[in-house]
């Protein structure tokens, strides 16, 4: 098959769950003999079109800021969607798999699919619905409208979690046309990685944006150090919230307890996970929460929070960690319980490893290949 993925952010130049999904699925599909193309912003140096990990990457426009004032840039999404048209229409594919967010490129994909008579499937990591009003106020009406229009562009949709499927159904997408194909992990690769020598009690890994609620984690650490003075928390990631969070840590006098890192290469992140005691993901919104199953594969329990928009909470059970209310007090209590109870930690670590076996990328590839063949 000739397969095209469309998403403005491209791994490993931009690191996130959606980018990593395309990278892992794309290189495996290419390894099976399929011709895989990825259309995104040209984050790399050199030619517009390069070969990478068996895939053909198309840089359709120059790099732009993805976030402005802490929010995803609308102008970037519009420019990318306009620049995408001549690049995508110059090729012919059996199927185009477009990431729903940031929405505007999906309209370009639909136009090309009509011109080229190509099948399209849209992959959804999240459905925001009324959250748009919280995100951008009254203008959220337009965000919600555009999201609804995108849900009508393809006859079939892929949801990365049961929660995302439910939310798609809530905006009128027919249930039988939604296919759940979750994110996965490379278990063999993770097993080969050696733990970091710089261990910690608590680890956070992800983009530093408001929805991740890292400030809640810092408040939990501030409470924990009253009883565990040498508590160590490592925060891996970058984003528009980073400077504010560093300032908050400084204000609380936490710089001896909290260490900030920028983005790391994947193997470095996994090495850090393996040398930590618990992963904390206090996000109010997660379309899936790939970092959760990565932590499971490292034998690390996970603490996340209850929120309708947090699909990661569905991955964590009593046996593999805790799901608590979005409250710094509850978060600190759950962390203390895991890192101070050796017997419980050992039990949760084993359960986390067992849970990770259900999420190997190779299992997802077989489901995705079957779906593509059915659609074409």
**Dihedrals phi, psi of 273, to nearest 5 degrees:** -60, -45
pLDDT surpasses 90 at 127: yes
| Residue 228: predicted pLDDT | 92
| Residue 105: predicted pLDDT | 97
CATH number for the segment(s) 187-358? 3.40.50.2000
Of 37, 3, 12, 23, the closest CA to residue 361 belongs to 23
Beta bridge partner(s), residue 239: none
Contact indicator for 115, 89 with CB cutoff of 8 Å: yes
Of 236, 257, 256, 248, the closest CA to residue 332 belongs to 257
Contact indicator for 145, 119 with CB cutoff of 8 Å: no
Task: Give 26-38 pLDDT, tens digit per residue.
Answer: 999 999 999 999 9
**How many CA atoms are closer than 13 Å to the CA of 215, on its beta-carbon side?**
12
Task: Give 208-236 pLDDT, tens digit per residue.
Answer: 999 999 999 999 999 999 999 999 999 99
Q: What angle in degrees, to the nearest 10, is found between the helix axes of 290-297 and 342-356?
A: 110
Task: Give 9-28 pLDDT, tens digit per residue.
Answer: 999 999 888 999 999 999 99
Strand ranges inside 31-155, DSSP E: 35-40, 49-52, 55-59, 67-68, 71-72, 95-99, 119-124
Contacts made by residues 337-346, CB under 8 angstroms, sequence distance 24+: 338/277, 338/278, 338/301, 338/303, 339/201, 339/202, 339/228, 339/277, 339/278, 340/228, 345/277, 345/301
| Residue 171: predicted pLDDT | 93
Task: Give 320-360 pLDDT, tens digit per residue.
Answer: 999 999 999 999 999 999 999 999 999 999 999 999 998 99
Q: Does domain 2-184+360-375 match CATH 3.40.50.2000?
A: yes
pTM, to two decimals: 0.83
pLDDT surpasses 80 at 318: no
Beta bridge partner(s), residue 156: 121
Q: Where in the chain is the domain with CATH 3.40.50.2000?
A: 2-184+360-375, 187-358
pLDDT surpasses 90 at 287: no
Where does residue 92 rank: exposed (0-12), middle (13-18), buried (19+ CB within 10 A)? exposed
Contacts made by residues 186-195, CB under 8 angstroms, sequence distance 24+: 186/24, 186/360, 186/361, 187/297, 187/356, 187/357, 187/360, 189/267, 190/270, 190/294, 190/297, 190/298, 191/297, 193/267, 193/270, 193/271, 193/274, 194/271, 194/274, 195/271, 195/274, 195/275
């Amino acid at each position: 098959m000739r397969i095209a993925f469309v998403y403005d952010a491209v791994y490993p130049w931009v690191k996130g769950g959606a980018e990593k999904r395309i990278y892992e699925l794309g290189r495996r599909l290419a390894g099976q003999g399929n011709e895989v193309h990825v259309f995104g912003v040209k984050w790399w140096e050199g030619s517009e079109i390069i070969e990478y990990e068996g895939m053909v990457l198309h840089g359709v426009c120059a790099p732009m800021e993805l976030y402005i004032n802490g929010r995803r840039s609308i102008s970037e999404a519009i420019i990318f969607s306009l620049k995408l048209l001549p690049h995508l229409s110059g090729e012919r594919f059996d199927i185009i798999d477009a990431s729903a967010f940031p929405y505007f490129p999906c309209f370009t994909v639909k136009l090309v699919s009509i011109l080229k008579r190509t099948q399209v499937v849209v992959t959804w990591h999240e459905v925001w619905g009324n959250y748009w009003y919280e995100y951008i106020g009254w203008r959220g009406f337009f965000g919600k409208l555009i999201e609804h229009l995108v849900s009508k562009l393809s006859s079939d949709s892929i949801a990365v979690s049961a929660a995302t499927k439910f939310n798609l159904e809530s905006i009128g997408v027919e249930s039988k046309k939604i296919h759940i194909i979750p994110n996965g992990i490379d278990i063999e690769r993770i097993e080969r990685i050696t733990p970091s020598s710089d261990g910690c009690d608590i680890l956070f890994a992800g983009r530093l944006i408001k929805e991740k609620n890292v400030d809640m984690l810092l408040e939990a650490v501030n409470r924990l150090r009253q009883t565990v003075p040498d508590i160590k928390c490592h925060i891996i990631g970058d984003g528009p919230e980073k400077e504010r969070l560093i300032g908050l840590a400084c204000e609380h006098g936490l710089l001896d307890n909290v260490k900030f890192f920028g983005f790391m290469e994947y193997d470095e992140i996994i090495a850090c996970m393996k040398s930590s005691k618990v992963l904390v993901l206090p996000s109010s919104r997660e379309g899936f929460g790939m970092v959760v199953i990565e932590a499971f594969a490292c034998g690390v329990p996970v603490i996340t929070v209850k929120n309708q928009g947090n699909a990661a909470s569905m991955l964590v059970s009593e046996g593999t960690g805790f799901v608590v209310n979005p409250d710094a007090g509850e978060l600190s209590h759950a962390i203390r319980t895991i890192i101070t109870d050796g017997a419980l930690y050992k039990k949760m670590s084993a359960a986390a490893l067992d849970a990770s076996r259900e999420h190997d990328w190779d299992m997802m590839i077989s489901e995705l290949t079957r779906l593509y063949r059915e659609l074409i």
